[in-house]
């Protein structure tokens, strides 16, 4: 009763000011407020689950099978992301099953950061997007995940706005689609089904330049399939397979590092055209990009973060990231951005 009263008070406050402006991830949403969750990730994930359950109008029930959100830890290697939310089954815009993972290649599963990452990825699992409000849904993008590892009232209000009319049995579900989204139709078919917490989250172009070992202007020569990322849940029998691609570039010019015009390099990209990461869209063969990259042990390269790739368009730069300083560079002249990069590297 007390939970219902507190949640209702926060919900009313949220609806009064911004019911139409909830930070929703695309069109994604769970069928109703009652969400079955399976936790194979331990105490830090449990703390994150308890926060969402106690602070919002959502009702989590712990299950060992037939879950709607599966939470786990796994070492996925040098992927560039430390956390990942993935929609593995859906019907229209309704999430039937999602996973929330911490990549233990970068963070210990027992750290406070793991709690914050789980908090964010679980939030994506019921349809929340990032938001700059001091809580876990903005961690990494605007502030540290070790200082913002819980939901805040803004997140509670967003959930209230999204789920105000989502009561048990209220949603009609048809045409369920599986992990890879085959057979989908409509808006959800082209929507990203994976949302990452990236290891690097630069706050400005100078920091992006400092993170990169190489900064180049390069043209896409080809895009090929790569080996999938196989992630095995620690302490559980679940196995995740995420497709990857290799993007082959020819260098047109170099602003940092030892690459020179005419040389080639291969970029490691998470996902593929049917399973794209949010803020990491497909590369276009023949298109030119300003790239901020670092090497992987296998000889390929990674973009330092979504803020590290910009397509060169007829009306200026086209950033991959749709938030923060990178989004504000949309339409900027390449010469101006390279000037900022050079000044940052001289400091």
Mean pLDDT across 318-338: 94
pLDDT at residue 70, as a whole number: 98
Mean pLDDT across 334-347: 91
The dihedrals phi and psi of 82, each to the nearest 5 degrees, come to: -105, -10
For the cut 50, the answer to whether the pLDDT of residue 97 exceeds it is yes
For the cut 70, the answer to whether the pLDDT of residue 8 exceeds it is no
CATH annotation of 205-346: 2.40.50.120
Sign of the CA dihedral 85, 90, 95, 99? negative
Band (pLDDT 50/70/90 cuts) for residue 192 is confident
pLDDT at residue 268, as a whole number: 98
| Residue 311: exposure state from Cβ atoms within 10 A (0-12, 13-18, ≥19) | middle
Q: How far is CA 82 from the centre of its chain?
A: 10
pLDDT at residue 347, as a whole number: 77
pLDDT at residue 344, as a whole number: 87
Mean pLDDT across 20-28: 82
Mean pLDDT across 217-226: 98
| CA distance to 132, 260, 262, 311, 339, per residue, from 217 (Å) | 31, 10, 11, 9, 14
Mean pLDDT across 151-167: 93
Least confident of 167-181, 226-240, 255-269, 277-291: 167-181
For the cut 60, the answer to whether the pLDDT of residue 163 exceeds it is yes
3-state secondary structure the chain: CHHHHHHHHHHHHHHHHHHHHCCECCCCEECCCEEEEEECCCHHHHHHHHHHHHHCCCEEEECCCCCCEEEEEECCCCCCEEEEEEEEEEECCEEEEEEEEEECCCCCCCCHHHHHHHHHHHHHHCCECCCCCCCHHHECCCECCCCCCCCCHHHHHHHHHHHCCCCCCCCCCCCCECCCCCCCCCHHHHCCCEEEEECCCCCCHHHHHHHCCEEEEEEEEEEEEEEEEEEECCCCCCEEEEEEEEEEEEEEEEEECCCCCCCEEEEEEECECCECECCECCCCCCCEEEEEEEECCCCCEEECCHHHEEEEECCEEEECCCCHHHHHCCCCCHHHHHHHHHHHHHC
pLDDT at residue 313, as a whole number: 95
Mean pLDDT across 138-160: 92
For the cut 90, the answer to whether the pLDDT of residue 114 exceeds it is yes
Residue pLDDT, tens place only, 115-130: 999 999 999 999 999 9
Mean pLDDT across 133-142: 91
CB neighbours (10 Å) of residue 231?
24
For the cut 70, the answer to whether the pLDDT of residue 59 exceeds it is yes
Q: Is 56:151 a contact under the CB 8 Å cutoff?
A: yes
For the cut 60, the answer to whether the pLDDT of residue 181 exceeds it is no
Q: Where in the chain is the domain with CATH 3.40.390.10?
A: 2-198
The region that residue 341 occupies, defined by phi over 0 for left and psi between -120 and 50 for alpha, beta otherwise, is alpha
For the cut 60, the answer to whether the pLDDT of residue 184 exceeds it is no
Q: Which residue has the higher pLDDT, 169 or 252?
A: 252
Q: Where in the chain is the domain with CATH 2.40.50.120?
A: 205-346
pLDDT at residue 235, as a whole number: 87
pTM (predicted TM-score): 0.87
What dihedral do alpha carbons 124, 246, 316, 194 form, nearest 10°? -10
Q: Is 158:131 a contact under the CB 8 Å cutoff?
A: yes
> Closest Cα to residue 201, out of 101, 100, 132?
132
CB neighbours (10 Å) of residue 69?
25
Band (pLDDT 50/70/90 cuts) for residue 176 is low
For the cut 90, the answer to whether the pLDDT of residue 21 exceeds it is no
Residue-averaged pLDDT of the chain: 89
What dihedral do alpha carbons 309, 200, 278, 73 form, nearest 10°? 150
| Domain 2-198 of CATH type 3.40.390.10 | yes
Least confident of 12-16, 134-138, 204-208, 235-239: 12-16
pLDDT at residue 207, as a whole number: 95
pLDDT at residue 13, as a whole number: 41
Residue pLDDT, tens place only, 246-282: 999 999 999 999 999 999 999 999 999 989 999 999 9
Q: Which two tokens stand for residue 116?
A: 């914050």
pLDDT at residue 16, as a whole number: 37
| Residue 6: exposure state from Cβ atoms within 10 A (0-12, 13-18, ≥19) | middle
Mean pLDDT across 167-182: 54
């Amino acid at each position: 009763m007390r939970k219902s009263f507190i949640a209702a008070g926060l919900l009313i406050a949220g609806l009064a000011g911004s019911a139409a402006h909830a930070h929703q991830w695309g069109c994604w949403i769970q069928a109703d407020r009652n969400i079955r969750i399976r936790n194979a990730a331990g105490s830090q994930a449990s703390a994150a689950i308890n926060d969402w359950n106690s602070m919002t109008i959502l009702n989590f029930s712990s299950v060992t099978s037939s879950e709607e959100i599966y939470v786990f830890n796994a070492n996925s290697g040098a992927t560039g992301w430390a956390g990942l939310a993935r929609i593995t089954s859906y019907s229209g815009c309704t999430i039937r099953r999602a996973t929330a993972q911490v990549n233990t290649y970068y963070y210990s599963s027992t750290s406070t950061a793991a709690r914050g990452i789980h908090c964010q990825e679980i939030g994506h699992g019921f349809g929340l997007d990032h938001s700059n409000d001091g809580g876990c849904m903005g961690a990494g993008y605007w502030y540290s995940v070790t200082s913002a590892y819980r939901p805040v009232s803004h997140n509670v209000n967003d959930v209230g706005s999204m789920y105000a009319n989502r009561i048990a049995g209220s949603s009609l579900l048809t045409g369920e689609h599986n992990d890879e989204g085959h057979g989908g139709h409509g808006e959800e078919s082209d929507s990203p089904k994976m949302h990452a917490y990236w290891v690097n989250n630069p706050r400005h172009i100078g920091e992006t330049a400092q993170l990169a070992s190489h900064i180049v202007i390069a043209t896409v020569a080809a895009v090929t399939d790569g080996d999938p990322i196989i992630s095995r849940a620690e302490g559980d029998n679940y196995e995740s397979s995420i497709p990857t691609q290799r993007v082959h570039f020819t260098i047109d010019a170099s602003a940092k590092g030892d690459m020179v015009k005419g040389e080639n390099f291969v970029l490691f990209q998470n996902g593929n055209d049917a399973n794209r990461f949010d803020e990491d869209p497909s590369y276009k063969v023949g298109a030119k990009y300003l790239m901020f990259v670092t090497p992987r042990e296998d000889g390929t390269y990674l973009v330092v973060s979504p803020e590290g790739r910009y397509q060169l368009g007829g009306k200026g730069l086209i950033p991959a990231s749709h938030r923060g300083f990178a989004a504000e560079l949309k339409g900027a002249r390449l010469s101006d951005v390279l000037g900022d990069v050079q000044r940052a590297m001289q400091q």
